[in-house]
Structure 1
Amino acid sequence: MLPNLLLFLAASLAVTIAPGPDNVQVLARAMSQGRAAGVAAALGFASGCVFHTTLAVVGIAAVLRASPMAFDAIKLAGAAYLMWLGVQALRSRGGLSVGGPGGSGAPVSRWRIFRQSVLANMMNPKVTLFFLVFLPQFVNPWLGHPDGQMAILGAVFAVQTAVVFGAIAWGAGYVGEWLQRRPGAAVWLDRLAGVVFLLLALRIVWSS
């Protein structure tokens, strides 16, 4: 399985590094809320991969693929959640307030950011379908136990996602710290994060 695993890791890194909703959200979090918030978001999105792997292994993803209505319902729910995060960010007053209650400017706990990121990832049915198509391509039929192999591949994908997204958060955190020292920059960072969340929500709504 080792050659397949190395090829899978290379392909996974290419997919994770490519600009997408998840890593863009990590970037926005780190710049507007700080490096720790970005890392929390990175770990949240990586943990969401475990959920999608489970769905792919047990076959629920195939049901989603066969039911456009169920797919659209989950997709719209995810878009609505991102819109809510965007509105909260636009209403904030700066100072690590994205997603805070009522946009009051109160700092958001890292645990809450983690949970928000997990939920945002879980409510993206495209990721589930991606795992359903992507993981089996690297299963070695000679080894047997395809479900077990898919579970291992999903765990590898989650770990490399945490590493790549964590690196993005760490780098973006330096930019955010530099901007936070500028008067009024914190407010505009939150505004930027809000716009990013809203654009991602619209992208999900209008995508096929």
Structure 2
Amino acid sequence: MLGIQNLELFIITGLLLNMAPGPDSLLVMSRSAGQGWKAGSAAALGIGSGTFIHVFAAALGLSALLAASATAFMLIKYLGAAYLLYIGISMLLGKGHESATHATPVLMPRSYGRLYLQGFLTNVLNPKVALFFLAFVPQFIAPDAEHKALAFVVLGCIFNFNGMLWCHLLAASTAFASRHIQASQRIARLLNRTIGALFVALGVKLALSK
């Protein structure tokens, strides 16, 4: 179909890659733990929208231009790194609020629209995601396929759908654990700052990547 090959292997590998820890997973977990599964879901939907941008850009060849242009890559890379640093530092400096039902501090309330935008920017400003699709997806398209761009989009949508399933499972499980594990305010604040430190580390790593 459309020249797609080894679809089962693509799905299994894609699921394993989606489950690997990264900025997207950390964002979903932090929002779900602090504000419930709906907040994590909003961030996840933003991440999925960002992934669609990368998929269609790669299918149209825009990601290839990004890979070929050192200036464009550096610009987007530094924007993405700065955004990850912004999220991390905000979490490190934030004091949170104590919930009325338990001692776990939560983040300042955000509209679901802002959480969606945060997920979108976290994903779409990471040029390594664009390069990942360029390197990974073509391996599962036959060289003689007539509609390579369409096959690329189909595979990208499958990858993104599986990623959304994982992110929403992560959101639900994190929110469930947050409700049922009565952590002290000190431990919860430490966890929040640990995740913030991880975002800072990911931002620095992205900024130094070549």
TM over 0.5: yes
Aligned pairs (5 A) from 1:12-161:
12-95=14-97, 106-161=108-163
CA gap of 1:201–1:38, structure 2 versus 1, over 3 A, is same
Q: Could you tell which deviates more after superposition, 25-34 or 174-183?
A: 174-183
Q: CA RMSD in A?
A: 2.4
Contact 2:81–2:206 at 8 Å: present in 1 too?
Answer: yes
1:67-112 Cα offsets, whole Å, 9 max, x none, are 222212111110111111222223323149xxxxxxxx63012221
Q: 2:177 aligns with which of 175, 178, 190?
A: 175
CA gap of 1:34–1:136, structure 2 versus 1, over 3 A, is same
1:21-65 Cα offsets, whole Å, 9 max, x none, are 322332233223332222222222122110001110111111111
2:128 aligned partner, one-letter code: K
Aligned with 2:64: secondary structure?
A: helix
Runs of 4+ in 1 over 4 A off after TM superposition: none
Distance 1:194 1:110 in 2: 20
CA gap of 1:32–1:206, structure 2 versus 1, over 3 A, is farther
Q: After TM superposition, give the deviation of residue 172 of structure 1 in Å.
A: 1.6
Residue segments in structure 2 that go unaligned for 5+ positions in a row: 99-106
Distance 1:182 1:57 in 2: 48
Distance 1:32 1:202 in 2: 25
Q: 1:202 aligns with which of 192, 201, 204?
A: 204
2:34 aligned partner, one-letter code: S
Number of aligned residue pairs: 201
Q: Could you tell which deviates more after superposition, 174-183 or 106-115?
A: 174-183
CA gap of 1:143–1:205, structure 2 versus 1, over 3 A, is closer
Hey, what does 1:100 align to over in structure 2?
Answer: none
2:154 aligned partner, one-letter code: I
1:198 aligned partner, one-letter code: V
Distance 1:24 1:11 in 2: 20
1:38 aligned partner, one-letter code: G
Residue segments in structure 1 that go unaligned for 5+ positions in a row: 97-104
**TM-score, length of structure 2 as denominator length:** 0.84
Contact 1:55–1:61 at 8 Å: present in 2 too?
Answer: yes
Distance 2:43 2:182 in 1: 19
2:197 aligned partner, one-letter code: V
Distance 2:68 2:149 in 1: 21
Contact 2:5–2:142 at 8 Å: present in 1 too?
Answer: no
Contact 1:48–1:121 at 8 Å: present in 2 too?
Answer: yes
Distance 2:5 2:44 in 1: 28
1:34 aligned partner, one-letter code: G
